[in-house]
A and B are shown apart, each in its own frame.
Chain A
Amino acid sequence: MKKRKKSGHIARTRGEQIGYAIIMLVLGLFAFSTIYPVWHVVMYSISDSKLSMSGGFFFWPRGFSLKSYKMVFQTSQIWIAYRNSILVTFVGTVMSVGLSAITAYPLSRKRLHGRNFLSMVVFFTMLFSGGMIPLYLQVARLGLLDTFWSMILPTCMSAYNMFILRNFMQGVPDSLEESARIDGANDFIILVRIILPLCTPSLAAIAMFYGVHYWNNYMNCLLYTNSTGLQVLPLYLRTVLNSAAANALSASSDLSSLGEAASVLTEETVKMTVVAVSVIPIILVYPYLQRFYTKGITVGAVKG
């Protein structure tokens, strides 16, 4: 009934064509609605504050001004914060993915004694927490206060990501493992050589989750560190944002209007700039990660 074409596509029925059109329409509209906020943020941030005050939608910038970017990037502190954030995100993601992988692998093997119990032990951490202060006291006890590692270790493994990975690993058929074992490979080698490569898409997915978590997390930095030298980007941007808002509320006075050139930068513009500055790096890096889970694997390894 259906003939194969040389490209591998098959001729579609009328129903399938209509279905495809509907899918494209729905996805197109959805994508438009999801792109718009980022577009809005960027357009607002490069608009002239005085013109953008009237609000509404921003399909194009109103006027043009990079004043807010100048304000955000002027101090040396933002570069320190950028450096710290990149370090925390990179080191943290690598460690987290690694820790999740070596934990997920044993828990995915049915022959592991106490597998259900240990899985439950990890799962519990997602449900129950003792609150902010007990965790702080523990971080203090471990001597991590005011160190780089305090921004990574306390949130190093998420049960959610670990279980996603475990689930994918469970899908790898035992036969592959058996044949490797006959060749003399031990579990570690099997994990590194066979399991992980087969799980690249899911590794990329959880790397994405971890990366975003570390990039956006300011709580660890806020609570566990005191020195400005360890400040991360989201915390820095938070202070920029808050100071902009506080100035206008004038419970405290704004010196800018007492001095010479009065400020024509509104809080809203600063807010948009701050969001743009923190989101754009993610959007730039994302396609590289995305490659790993959009490229299909055709080794016939993962069972249905």
Chain B
Amino acid sequence: MKKTLSLLLALVLVLAVFALPAMADEKPVLTMLISGDNNPSEVNSVLTELGNRIGAEIRVTMVSKTDYSSKLNTMIASGTEPDIYGVLDTNTLLELRDAGRLLDMAPLLEEYGPDILAYCGDKLDMPVANEDGHVYALVSEAGTYLKNLTIRKDWLANVGMEMPTDLDSFYDVLYAFTYNDPDGNGVKDTIGLAPSMADTSSFQHILAAFGIGVRDWDGKVLLEDGTVTTFIKHPRFLEAIEYLRKLYKDGVMDPDFVTLTNMQMFERLWQGQTGIMGFQSVGTTNNWYPGRYTFEVPADPSELFGFAYLNGAGAPKAYPDYKKASAVIKASCKWPELAVKLINYIYYTEEGQDLTYMGVEGVHYEWTDKENGKFQRLGIYTDDVVHRADGAFAYNSSGGYTKENAETRLMNKTTQDSQAAEWACATEWPYIAQVVEADVEYGATLKDIVKECFAQLIVTNGDVEAEYQEFVARWDEEGGLEVEAEATAAYQEEQAAK
């Protein structure tokens, strides 16, 4: 008995000896859940470097955007959520806050998040989760690009036309791009407009020309009487539909547009089947340039592409989505200071943005012309896959949370200029910062109705006016009236507060 006891004691002592020093210099560990589609190795140069700069071991779980909510919800339900994560749906975010599961970063910002403070300033209370000086959530302001109406200048020259400025001249260009052999190969293999219904980007400039600013299918407009409602109730909506019907009937718009995916729409531009694209120039003149185009392109994208504004109206404005949280820290995080420091560093400092975006300077890349955002990748890292496997571009795929960030700094001039020009004439629409409950409740259904209405009215052989009335009635009946009432009240309240 005594023997066993002493043996046990000895064992405990030995264990303690091993355990104590480990506890003494236990290295801080921060866990993160990031929505993204890259698959870097568990241990990689970027993460190691980042860990060294922050003074903590950083463990990241990457989950595809499509699977992110499932993963996060199960983690939250079992209390195993990581230290730092993002929350995509408002209700969950507010519940987390009210249940005391989110860290209030406010007291730590001065010391550990100076760049957050400097950048956000007054905007810190914009995210819906933040109230009364408490900071529970940070929201990314990156990637709020405007769509451009990009048109091939060489095709315009081939058919002898100028950049369109209004709906009539735009129609003429579409007609010429369909029937006048703009690519000069003697075959009728082009189409004026090949839009996709996946989002509104192809239609934004046409609608804007009628005074309708719609960034998404659930987009709202402000009526004269002050009502905020779906854009299909805009007084000029049917006029816009008539215009689109004409495009459809005259064959200058792809008859398959309802089934076209985003990617098919892009591919039609890439291989020269269409010369017009309603999409952010970040795609057309930057990311896709020149690699994705199957035809010969000049070195300077501004020689190939120009940007049109119909009736002087640009794309609808973009706002950061303050209804969600790009980053929160869980309340039970063991190293809250380091967590704030990490977020501050990678999303709000230029140095951290560059590290997580391009990799380790001197290892993965070197600057050739830092002023103009020119760099080159080094050695084996010239290969995308190798570069990303070593951690570049994975943890910060939109370049940071700031409006000017690693991504925008590296864009070519054409793209930067076209974005600025688009902002200068952007179309206004009633932006509501707060949550509209009815929208959450019925939004998905109403969006389907709006999309069906839009597509059906363009293709129908029946009575457009009657069908339109039916869709409006359906929209009203299936929750639309509630949305209208709540949105109007919320908008007016916010306007009054300004």
- Whether chain B is bound by chain A comes out as yes
Contact (Cβ within 8 A) A75 B288? no
Chain A residues with CB under 8 A of B371: none
1/0 per residue, CB under 8 A from A, across B49-76: the answer is 0000000000001111111001101100
B357 surroundings in chain A (CB, below 8 A):
255
Q: Are B78 and A259 in contact (CB under 8 A)?
A: no
Q: For the complex, what is the distance from the CA of A222 to the CA of B72, rounded to whole Å? A: 11
Q: Is the pair A245, B410 in contact by a Cβ cutoff of 8 Å? A: no
Rounded to whole Å, the gap between the CB of B391 and the closest CB of chain A is 12
Taking CB atoms and an 8 Å cut-off, the chain A residues in 49-78 that contact chain B are 50-51, 53-55, 71, 74-77
Check: A229 CB closer than 8 A to any chain B CB: yes
Question: Is there an interface contact between A258 and B292, defined as CB atoms closer than 8 Å?
Answer: no
- Are B383 and A137 interface neighbours, CB within 8 A? no
Query: Is there contact, CB below 8 Å, between B271 and A223?
Result: no
Contacting pair A262 B386 (CB below 8 A): no
Measured in the bound complex, the distance between the Cα atoms of B398 and A54 in whole Å is 30
Judged by a CB distance under 8 angstroms, whether A115 is at the interface is no
Residues in chain A near residue B271, CB distance under 8 A: 50, 53-54
> B64, A247: Cβ atoms under 8 Å?
no
The minimal Cβ–Cβ distance linking A200 to chain B, given in whole angstroms, is 39
Q: Of the candidates B41, B63, B78, B294, which one forms a contact with A53 in the assembled complex, judged by CB atoms under 8 Å apart?
A: B294
Cross-interface CB contact of A259 among B62, B264, B286, B377, cutoff 8 Å: B377
Q: Which residues on the A side are within 8 Å of B64 (C-beta)?
A: 238-239, 242
In-complex Cβ contact of A262 among B78, B290, B393 (8 A): B290
Decide if B37 touches A222 in the complex (CB within 8 Å): no
Kindly state the separation between the CA atoms of A54 and B268 in the bound complex, as whole angstroms. 8
Q: Does A175 contact B (CB under 8 A)?
A: no
A248 engages B37 (CB within 8 Å): no
Q: Which of A53, A239, A258, A266 contacts B38 (CB 8 A)?
A: A239
Q: A229-B42, A253-B286 are in contact. Are A136 and B78 (CB under 8 A)?
A: yes
Contacts A53-B267, A53-B270, A259-B377 given; does A250 touch B283 at CB 8 Å: yes
Contact of B291 with A140 in the complex, beta carbons under 8 Å: no
A76 touches B78 (CB 8 A): no
Known: A223-B70, A249-B262. A239 touches B37 (CB 8 A): yes
Which A residues lie within 8 Å of B36 (CB)?
243, 246
Q: Does A226 contact B (CB under 8 A)?
A: yes
Task: Give complex CA distance A132, B69 in Å.
Answer: 12
| A290 sits at the interface (CB 8 A) | no
Docked CA distance A81–B270 (Å): 34
| Given A54-B271, A71-B385, A261-B382, A248 contacting B77 (CB threshold 8 A) | no
What sequence of 0s and 1s flags, for each residue 375-413 of chain B, a beta carbon within 8 Å of any chain A beta carbon?
Answer: 111000011111111001100011100000001001100
Name A74's closest neighbour in chain B (CB-CB).
B385
In the complex, which residues of chain A have a beta carbon less than 8 angstroms from the beta carbon of B376? 259-260
Tell whether, in the assembled complex, residue A223 and residue B71 are in contact, meaning their CB atoms are under 8 Å apart: yes
Q: Complex formed: what's the CA distance from A266 to B270 in Å?
A: 10
Q: Which residues of A contact B262 (CB under 8 A)?
A: 248-249
A263 within 8 A of B: yes
Are B41 and A228 in touch, CB under 8 angstroms? yes
User: Which of B41, B266, B291 has the most chain A CB atoms inside 10 A of its CB?
Assistant: B291
Total interface residues in chain B, CB < 8 Å: 61
Q: Does A298 contact B (CB under 8 A)?
A: no
A241 nearest CB neighbor, chain B only:
B37
Given the known inter-chain contacts A132-B70, A260-B382, please indicate yes or no for A251 contacting B398, CB distance below 8 A. yes
Q: Could you say which residues of chain B place their CB within 8 Å of the CB of A255?
A: 357-358, 384, 387-388, 392-393
Please report the C-alpha to C-alpha distance between residue A136 and residue B74 in the assembled complex, in whole angstroms.
7
Decide yes or no whether A116 CB sits under 8 A from chain B. no
Asked if B469 CB lies within 8 Å of chain A CBs, one says: no
A167 to B50, CA, bound (A): 59
B266:A248 contact, CB within 8 angstroms: yes
Complex CA distance for A222 and B383, rounded to whole angstroms:
28
Contacts of B165 in A (CB 8 A): none
Residues in A neighbouring B384, C-beta threshold 8 A: 71, 255-256, 259, 263
Q: In the complex, what residue of chain A is closest to B273 when comparing beta carbons? A: A54
- B423, chain A: closest CB distance, angstroms: 17
A246 cross-chain contacts in B, Cβ below 8 A: 36-37, 65, 397
Interface residues of B in 354-384 (CB under 8 A from A): 357-358, 375-377, 382-384
Pairs A-B, 8 closest by C-beta atoms? A262-B291, A243-B37, A242-B37, A252-B397, A136-B74, A250-B283, A50-B294, A254-B287
Interface residues of B (CB under 8 A from A): 36-39, 41-42, 61-67, 70-71, 73-74, 77-78, 80, 143, 262-264, 266-267, 270-271, 273, 280, 282-283, 286-292, 294, 357-358, 375-377, 382-389, 392-393, 397-399, 407, 410-411
Given contacts A77-B389, A242-B66, 10 further A-B contacts (CB under 8 A): A55-B264, A248-B262, A250-B282, A252-B407, A255-B357, A255-B384, A258-B375, A259-B384, A262-B290, A268-B263
